[in-house]
């Protein structure tokens, strides 16, 4: 079984619709992240959470919101989707070891298309 | 302005040769450096990380770090067609353990 799962894997939606992407993990990690990936731009951090009560904005949080429902669950919402939010979205987790070598582990990704 | 730079490629290498991938970073306070591999349409997966100057070897892979020159490289020996992928460099600047990502280098191993 996958340690980090994302649902849905693919989603096509229309401009203005609200959409939620979900992430669950069984790794027991405290830290969770949401990234988007666009061709030629690499991974960009949207939001990250170090525990259930700690949520932080990343580089590109405008137009997105998140909810950390439990240690194992971290959801990303697009309140009113727009076409330039079409991208590949990844959830990642890492353990809280307090060192700079904490490794991030990624889910399989959600391909989102906004028409 | 991007803080982690990689040549986008594609870098084409014959099978069996050594593939050399490079990454430069701007923050001198960066503490640790990661190489991830990403196959098309798939998620990034960790190859290795390095935090001390010098070389670190893991099987066919060697990471090299030079903090004075602010670059990190990944060497792949005896390249195989299955090594064809995009290689992402990520840098941990230490302040809050976030990773700053390069855009990746596409590597093609020709049989």
What's the Cα-to-Cα distance from B84 to each of A21, A109, B104, B110, rounded to whole Å?
A: 30, 20, 13, 9
Containing B99, the helix (H) or strand (E) segment is strand B99-101
- Does position B95 have pLDDT exceeding 70, yes or no? no
Return the number of CB contacts < 8 Å for A and B: 49
Judged against a pLDDT cut of 60, whether residue B58 lies above it is answered with yes
CA atoms within 13 A on the CB side of A82: 4
Overall average pLDDT of the A74-103 stretch: 89
Higher pLDDT, residue A65 or A51: A65
Q: Band of the pLDDT at A108, cuts 50, 70, 90?
A: very high
Query: Residue A44: closest CA among chain B residues belongs to which residue?
Result: B101
CB contact under 8 A, A42 and B88: yes
- Predicted confidence (pLDDT) at residue A7 exceeds the cutoff of 60: yes
pLDDT at A1 (0 to 100):
58
**Mean of all residue pLDDT scores within chain A:** 92
Tally Cβ neighbours within 10 Å of residue B33: 28
- Choose among B32, B49, B103: nearest Cβ to A40: B103
Q: Mean pLDDT throughout B12-21?
A: 97
pLDDT at B97 (0 to 100): 64
Contact B46, B34 (CB under 8 A): yes
Mean per-residue pLDDT of chain B: 92
| Contact residues, A window 24-43, toward B, CB-based 8 Å cutoff | 31, 40-43
pLDDT of B1 > 60? The answer is no
Residue A112 burial class via C-beta count within 10 angstroms: exposed 0-12, middle 13-18, buried 19 and up: buried
Confidence at B21, pLDDT banded by 50, 70, 90: very high
Asked whether the beta carbons of A66 and A77 are under 8 A apart, the reply is yes
Whether A59 contacts chain B with CB within 8 A? no
| pLDDT in the model for residue B30 | 87
The length of chain A in residues reads 115
**A85, A86, A90, A91 alpha-carbon torsion, rounded to 10°:** 40
β-strand pairing of B105-110 with B11-14: parallel
Q: Quick one: pLDDT at residue A21?
A: 98
Q: Is the pLDDT of residue A109 over 90?
A: yes
């Amino acid at each position: 079984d996958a340690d980090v799962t994302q649902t849905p894997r693919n989603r096509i939606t229309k401009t203005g619709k609200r959409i939620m992407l979900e992430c669950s993990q069984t790794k027991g990690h405290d830290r969770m992240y949401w990234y988007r990936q666009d061709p030629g731009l690499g991974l960009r951090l949207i939001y990250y959470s170090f525990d259930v009560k700690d949520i932080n904005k990343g580089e590109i949080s405008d137009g997105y919101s998140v909810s950390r429902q439990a240690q194992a669950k971290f959801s990303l919402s697009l309140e009113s989707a727009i076409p330039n939010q079409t991208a590949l979205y990844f959830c990642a987790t890492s353990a809280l070891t307090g060192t700079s070598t904490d490794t991030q582990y990624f889910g399989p990704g959600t391909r989102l298309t906004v028409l | 302005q991007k803080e982690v730079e990689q040549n986008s490629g594609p870098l084409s290498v014959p099978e069996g040769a050594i593939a050399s991938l490079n990454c430069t970073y701007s923050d001198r306070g960066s503490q640790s450096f990661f190489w991830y591999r990403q196959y098309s349409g798939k998620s990034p997966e960790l190859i290795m990380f390095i935090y001390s100057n010098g070389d670190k070897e893991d099987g066919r892979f060697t990471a090299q770090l030079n903090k004075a020159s602010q670059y990190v490289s990944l060497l792949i020996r005896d390249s195989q067609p299955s090594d064809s992928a995009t290689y992402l460099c990520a840098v941990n600047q230490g302040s809050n353990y976030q990773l700053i990502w390069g855009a990746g280098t596409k590597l093609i191993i020709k049989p």
